[in-house]
Chain A
């Protein structure tokens, strides 16, 4: 092991850098171990197990859970990777965006490891992690999404419970934000509409499965902003359109008391199963079509070498199908992380992104200065 450098240089292109990555921006306490872009271990722990939704972090649980489970999760990740802490070159940790107290737990642990074991530290933007998740490879070096490297310029879309942003990338770590949501994120709209349909909160994943049994042309929901000459979205308009439709249906139910308060958890909204399925399917169609309309516009404007998607919503099967059709038509190569665990929040993508921070020498020079940035944006 070359102790002078952070990685051993075998040849011009190949660096063998071992990274231990920590992500505590959300409900999951997640730790990954990578060697270059190969993921040797990805261990996530969540008591809440709301994995398949986009709901975000529950503060009361998150802080306690991260503090309690970081050590065992790190130990397990090292164990899975057959490595010891001494084998690690660099520690990477998410420093935003996310909830301050949750981020803090991971950052504190990362600093502690760096100080005790004399490691270098990299602070990673969680959303850059989502974009770079497409470059993650398995232990044998096979890319999960099928690409070995990005080709520029490319368009990168991040879609999750808190984000809907479109970037033009002109090179590695070079981002220009060209659009995004003006109000609710797309995953948030799934969660909130799921809530209105009486599926609990968050219920994005449940909504997707109900949509499969529904007819997506039952209700003609709007694709807000589809005509605007930009790459922005509004999902609150769509959320409200579903609300209006529900109120309308409720008013049509004669003799049934109308409940127009969606506040209490699991409160019945008097909708029958078929109606719920149809609402779910019609909403999903409108939400996904909104994404596609603006992506189509952006592709024809920027002519990108590829389209990259990251974030929890890309786990949605119907969206994947629409994207495949869009990209076939426009002959644009499409890549996204295929396994579900790589779409939702995870530390592997933080490890992958950290490789590119390292190449740009973006280490934290004075370890104590790394602070959480809850509202961190990509710039």
Chain B
């Protein structure tokens, strides 16, 4: 899918399509986000959170690398990661990223392309589903989304 986004409200539909029907899906789901500074990765994550019922404010995880939010009425979590500041694969092990691939967790990873091969390996754990999404800057209010 290749879509031009002119309004951030448009992410709602995309998130709902991606994650709306969580009950039917029994596996963890990685949303791997690719795009430059300011392309909208965190903005998009906010709409993902809403789509799965997380009501807390989603703030940027760049500094702290990993934030987690309980998905209401479930045992699963929304894990929000940002790999911007990491340089080595073993750092991903150290922050325990593999252990997140369980239950019906939704794992959103900003700057996932820094460790593309490694992130792809997650699909081997518990049948984890993975969706790569590229976000590209077009102009001030416009981005291109490639899923």
Judging by beta carbons under 8 Å apart, are B62 and A263 in contact? no
Contact with B along A166-210 (1 / 0, CB 8 A): 000000000000001111110110001001100001000000000
CB neighbors of B among A228-281 (8 A): 236, 239-240, 243-244, 247, 260-263
- Do A60 and B37 have beta carbons less than 8 Å apart? no
Report the nearest B residue to A193, measured CB to CB: B37
Encode A276-315 as 1/0 by CB contact (under 8 A) with B.
Answer: 0000000000000000000000000000000000000000
Please determine whether A375 and B37 come into contact, CB atoms closer than 8 angstroms. no
Are A236 and B42 closer than 8 Å at their CB atoms? yes
Q: Is B116 an interface residue (CB 8 A)?
A: no
Q: Is B121 an interface position by the 8 A CB rule?
A: no
Whether a CB of chain B sits under 8 angstroms from the CB of A214 is no
Shortest beta-carbon distance from A109 to chain B in Å: 18
Closest-CB distance, A368 to chain B (whole angstroms)? 21
Contact with A along B31-72 (1 / 0, CB 8 A): 000001110001100000000000001011011111110000
Tell me if A98 counts as interface (CB < 8 A to partner B). Answer: yes
For the residues of B in contact with A, the DSSP-based class is: loop
Q: Distance in Å from the Cβ of A165 to the closest Cβ of chain B?
A: 10
| Chain B residue contacts of A188, Cβ below 8 A | 60, 62-63
Question: In the assembly, what is the distance between CA of A57 and CA of B96, in Å?
Answer: 15
B137, A260: Cβ atoms closer than 8 Å: yes
Say yes or no: A240 contacts B38, CB within 8 Å. yes
Tell me whether B65 and A57 are in contact (CB under 8 A): yes
The verdict on A56 contacting B60 (CB below 8 Å), with A239-B38, A263-B36 known, is no
- Known contacts A100-B95, A101-B94, A183-B42, A56 near B37 by CB under 8 Å: no
**B88 to A374, Cβ gap below 8 A?**
no
Interface residues of A, count at CB 8 A: 40
Is there contact, CB below 8 Å, between B60 and A161?
A: no
Q: How extensive is the interface on chain B, given as a class?
A: 20 to 34
Is the pair B95, A101 in contact by a Cβ cutoff of 8 Å? yes
Out of B37, B68, B96, name the residue touching A262 (CB < 8 Å).
Answer: B37
Nearest-CB residue, chain B, relative to A162: B63
Please determine whether B85 and A58 come into contact, CB atoms closer than 8 angstroms.
Answer: yes
Q: Indicate if the CB atoms of B95 and A375 lie closer than 8 Å.
A: no
Residues of A with C-beta under 8 A to B94: 59-60, 63, 101
What are 22 inter-chain pairs, A to B, with CB distance below 8 A? A58-B86, A59-B94, A60-B87, A60-B88, A60-B91, A98-B64, A100-B66, A101-B94, A162-B63, A182-B59, A184-B59, A185-B59, A192-B37, A192-B38, A192-B62, A201-B85, A236-B38, A239-B38, A262-B36, A374-B66, A374-B67, A374-B68
Closest 8 CB pairs of A and B: A162-B63, A56-B63, A240-B38, A59-B91, A243-B38, A161-B63, A184-B60, A60-B91
